[in-house]
Structure 1
Amino acid sequence: MNSLKAFTDYLLLEKNYSALTVKAYTKDIESFSEFIKIEFDSENINQVVYVQIRNWIVALVEQGLSNRSINRKISALNTYYKFLLKIGALKTNPLAKHKALKTSKKVQVPFSKTEVNAVLDDFVFDQSFEGVRDKLIIELFYSTGIRRIELVNLKLSSVNFQNKTLKVLGKRNKERIVPLLDSTLKTLSEYLSYRKGLEQIVDEDILFLTKKGAKIYETLVYRIINDYFSKASSKVKKSPHILRHSFATHLLNQGADLNAVKELLGHSSLAATQVYTHNSISELKKVHIKAHPRSKK
């Protein structure tokens, strides 16, 4: 499928999409191609009509996929067809009039400051490579708001002790500089000392490693956050993203500028950052009622 190869090259080289995103897009398009081949005996997804895509959507619903997941798959397909229009390989987009399936807005409940402090201040981390590494991971998530994949891909060269900053490679390979707290730098120095003491190091340039010296992986990072916060929080979801959410919410609650938080999070638009403001609005209401001279009337 030459057009698919051209599409993936376009996403990687021109749009600067991450390899992970391109892989997901490719998987979705290949999945649709397989469906068309089986259901309609067609080898070419460039010549489909909307009814055929609609049948795929119905099949995905019957498989038990959520509307959110289905929308992501259709979005990948739509991006592909838009690319074909762009290069003149297609005259009309079969998804031009498609409307996304309705999804319920998930309210992400952040950890409270008490819960975060219970983990970072009250919990006794093992004085070992893994113990100090785990503490640093938690501190970095909460003090910088970086994404899980961004943390996994951090390199030793990402840290600048002199400037007290961290260079983060975000979505679409966009770099941003994030300030580091003195307390985080202290834990970072401690971790690097333990890191040097590992028997072997496979991935020399990577910051976070497993005890076997290999690059840390996303599921392990998730497990670390979930395990430690299970001891301090009764919330259903305990993940790196919730820590990122907590970082943004707590900054906004303390009066941080929305644009500044947007830059720290690596968002491309304010709309993405505004999802974190619902908690800060409730805090503002409390302040407003407590401080306004007419609130008692």
Structure 2
Amino acid sequence: MLLVPLVDSYITYLENEKNMAKMTITSYNNDWHDFFNYLENELKYDILSLDINEINHTTIRKYLVYLNDRNLSKSTIARRLAALKSFYRYLLKKEIIQHNPLDHVSSPKIPKKLPQYLEQGEMEAVLQQPSLHSETGIRDKAILELLYGAGIRVSELVSLDLANIDLSYGYVRVFGKGSRERVVPIGKEAIKALQLYLKKARPLWSIKPEKALFINQKGGRLSDRSVRTIVNKYCRQAGVKEILSPHGFRHSFATHLLDHGADLRVVQELLGHKKISSTQIYTHVSRKKLRKVYHLTHPRA
């Protein structure tokens, strides 16, 4: 069977049956285009007529060398291999192939990085930066408060519709990875910021009917790139040591909850993590902080 139609059917399977997030699908597509380029440009295959059985263990080994020669990061190489491994598991499951050319091919080991986060005082400084004397500042304040107050991903934030928030009860309905739905409570500061945005800023930009919660000055849904720019801007203005991405607000949300005694399972639920192991990295951050406080304050440390 031809490789390209099999990859297309696999991507459709991920979208329709596995309900994978759009960003994950895009990442898989990018990884596959890289592999196709390698097959065409390095091995001189005609990609449209290439049979799946022509790809063997040697092909994959050469691809690994090709990736390493380009000085790509270990995480990028690991992700490219993960895309291939997932595809071949699918082919084995469907009984399209009998042998997996990725058997005994190891991914590079990636050292676990502790997530970047802000101390509570630093976060407060960032949250105070947007000016409430302009519509843009009012909107940006609501974005920052919601990112930190609910711990949601940037993709989840820009996907929010007006119908997904209930300020009277204080919660937001979020659709996370794999279209998994969860309801997250939001605090009084986020509620106050959102109420101000919905009253003073959003109506002025809402030129046409738009269901999105956060919109730009032209009335369209705000992009995740715009949110990244907003977060970066106010972190710089506050002069904090770490210039965070929106995901850093999520890290700060989880870390501060655990610092104040929240149960790990509750934090897992709030973050929408499928596995507890994804949440456990924040316990390492809290322990690191505990050790630091101990060594700074204990007389015999």
TM-score, normalised by the number of residues in structure 2: 0.90
Task: Give the stretch that moved more between structures: 275-284 or 241-250.
Answer: 275-284
| C-alpha contact (below 8 Å) 2:205/2:216 kept by paired residues | no
> Quick one: which of 74, 92, 96 aligns to 1:85?
92
Provide the C-alpha distance between the structure 2 equivalents of 1:285 and 1:119, rounded to a whole number of angstroms: 26
Q: After superposition, give the CA deviation of every residue in 1:235-261 in whole Å (9 maximum; x if it has no partner).
A: 344211111111100100000000000
Q: Tell me the equivalent position of 1:191.
A: 197
Task: Give the stretch that moved more between structures: 80-89 or 19-28.
Answer: 19-28
Task: Give the stretch that moved more between structures: 68-77 or 93-102.
Answer: 93-102
- TM-aligned CA distance change 1:218 to 1:180, over 3 Å: same
Q: Tell me the equivalent position of 2:250.
A: 244
Note the C-alpha offset of 1:141.
1.0
Unaligned runs of 5+ in 1: none
Q: Tell me the equivalent position of 2:158.
A: 152
Provide the C-alpha distance between the structure 2 equivalents of 1:132 and 1:69, rounded to a whole number of angstroms: 38
Note the C-alpha offset of 1:286.
7.2
SS state of the match for residue 157, structure 2? helix
Cα RMSD over matched residues? 2.3
Note the C-alpha offset of 1:275.
1.0
Q: Which AA in structure 2 matches 1:17?
A: M
Q: Tell me the equivalent position of 2:121.
A: 114
State how many pairs are aligned: 293
Unaligned runs of 5+ in 2: none
Q: Does residue 1:8 correspond to 2:11, yes or no?
A: yes
Q: Which AA in structure 2 matches 1:276?
A: Y
Provide the C-alpha distance between the structure 2 equivalents of 1:124 and 1:223, rounded to a whole number of angstroms: 13
Q: After superposition, give the CA deviation of every residue in 1:157-210 in whole Å (9 maximum; x if it has no partner).
A: 1101232110001000000000011221111111112211226246x1111111
Q: After superposition, give the CA deviation of every residue in 1:51-101 in whole Å (9 maximum; x if it has no partner).
A: 211222222222231110111111111111111111111111111211111
Q: Does residue 1:55 correspond to 2:58, yes or no?
A: no
> Within 5 A, what are the aligned runs for 1:1-297?
1-42=4-45, 43=47, 44=50, 46-47=52-53, 48-121=55-128, 123=129, 125-193=131-199, 194-198=201-205, 200-201=207-208, 204-285=210-291
Provide the C-alpha distance between the structure 2 equivalents of 1:172 and 1:93, rounded to a whole number of angstroms: 27
SS state of the match for residue 231, structure 1? helix
Q: Which AA in structure 2 matches 1:22?
A: I
| C-alpha contact (below 8 Å) 1:111/1:233 kept by paired residues | no
Determine what percentage of the aligned residue pairs are the same residue: 36
Task: Give the stretch that moved more between structures: 189-198 or 100-109.
Answer: 100-109
Provide the C-alpha distance between the structure 2 equivalents of 1:110 and 1:289, rounded to a whole number of angstroms: 21
Q: Which AA in structure 2 matches 1:96?
A: D
| C-alpha contact (below 8 Å) 1:33/1:45 kept by paired residues | no
Q: Which AA in structure 2 matches 1:255?
A: G
Provide the C-alpha distance between the structure 2 equivalents of 1:93 and 1:156, rounded to a whole number of angstroms: 47
Q: Which AA in structure 2 matches 1:81?
A: Y
